[in-house]
Amino acid sequence: MNFDYTITFACYNQLDYTKQFIASLDRDEVDFSRIVAVDNGSTDGTREWLGQQGFGAVVLNDRNLGCGAAWNQGALAIQSKWTVVMNNDVVCAKGWLHKLLEGAQQHQLQIASPAMVEGDLNYDFDSWTAEAAQKMQGYCRHGAPHAVCMAIHDSVWQEMGYFMPVPKLLGYEDAIFFQRALENNIRTGTIGDAWLHHYGMTTQKALKLEMNLQQSDSLGNRNLMKLYMNQSWWARKVARYKRTNLLKSFAGTELKKFGITVHSTRSSESKVVEWC
């Protein structure tokens, strides 16, 4: 099945992760002319490397505009039926893209994410994800997408608009986007037979070091996030409580049925330490 898609990702330094991400893409599956890379002012050679890859477009920002603005730039540079917005610190399993888009179509989703493993890549990723995809074939965790990778149908732009392009949000753009999706009854989910590995917030960790922040500190402006979420403190607390319980319920059901869940975290000892 052929899909009309664009893949876009934002980056700020972290060239080694970007190289690993691009190397994991199967050129028989992914058309590199449909990739848009958006650089937010890298100084480690990323900009030069991006220009040598044969992507459909490379957007070079003079400074860090944040994820929201960069994701919008990518979505608008090559406009498609599906825009797949991704982190650059991921490794993709074989067949992930078409399984993701097929699953989104099958379950009538407007925002769809692949299943993922987070943490150290210290396991046999290819064989593990092939087995996991087979176990969870056709499964969808409805109402629970994530921002590491999300395929967004063009109807979403029409119904609720694009990402909040405010640089000081620095990481809260996804929370605001998903809240607006919920308010607009956008159909969302995570597809069980499309997989990737996520190292885990590498750019944000580097930015915190650059800004002399503790890793436990918030990188973005929390007050701005609260303003754009347009929710009371109590409403946010209730929403977090409901989401936590929903995810626990999903994880319990998936473990009982498949022995795995669509989201796991691995320890440095190469053991799965958390299903979520």
Between residues 56 and 208, which one has the greater pLDDT?
A: 56
Q: What percent of the chain has pLDDT over 90?
A: 73
**Other beta carbons less than 10 A from residue 87's beta carbon:** 24
d(CA 127, CA 176): 36
- Indicate if the pLDDT at residue 157 is higher than 60: yes
pLDDT at site 53: 96
242 CA to centre of own chain: 22
CATH class entry, domain 5-275 = alpha beta
pLDDT at site 213: 52
pLDDT at site 214: 55
Could you read off the pLDDT of 87-100 as tens digits, one per residue? 999 999 999 999 99
CB burial string 194-222: b at 16+ within 10 A, e below: bbbbbbebbbbbebbeeeeeeeeeebbbe
H-helix or E-strand spanning residue 272: strand 272-275
Could you read off the pLDDT of 72-122 as tens digits, one per residue? 999 999 999 999 999 999 999 999 999 999 999 999 999 999 999 999 998
pLDDT at site 239: 80
Under the banding of pLDDT at 50, 70 and 90, the label for residue 212 is low
Looking at residues 142-158, what average pLDDT do you find? 97
**Other beta carbons less than 10 A from residue 270's beta carbon:** 12
Angle of helix 222-229 relative to helix 173-183, nearest 10 degrees?
Answer: 10
pLDDT at site 243: 85
pLDDT at site 95: 96
Could you read off the pLDDT of 236-252 as tens digits, one per residue? 788 888 888 988 999 99
Task: Please report, to the nearest 10 degrees, the dihedral formed by the alpha carbons of residues 229, 116, 143, 29 taken in order.
Answer: 100
pLDDT at site 80: 98
pTM of the model: 0.92
Provide the 3-class DSSP secondary structure of residue 96. helix
- Indicate if the pLDDT at residue 201 is higher than 80: no
- Indicate if the pLDDT at residue 208 is higher than 60: no
Do residues 181 and 156 make contact, with C-beta atoms less than 8 angstroms apart?
A: yes
> Would you say the C-alpha torsion 218, 219, 224, 227 has a positive or negative sign?
negative
pLDDT at site 238: 82
CB burial string 111-120: b at 16+ within 10 A, e below: bbbbbbbbbe
Q: Which of 11, 189, 197, 7 is nearest to 97 (CA)?
A: 7
- Indicate if the pLDDT at residue 65 is higher than 90: yes
- Give the pair of three-digit tokens for residue 276: 């979520």
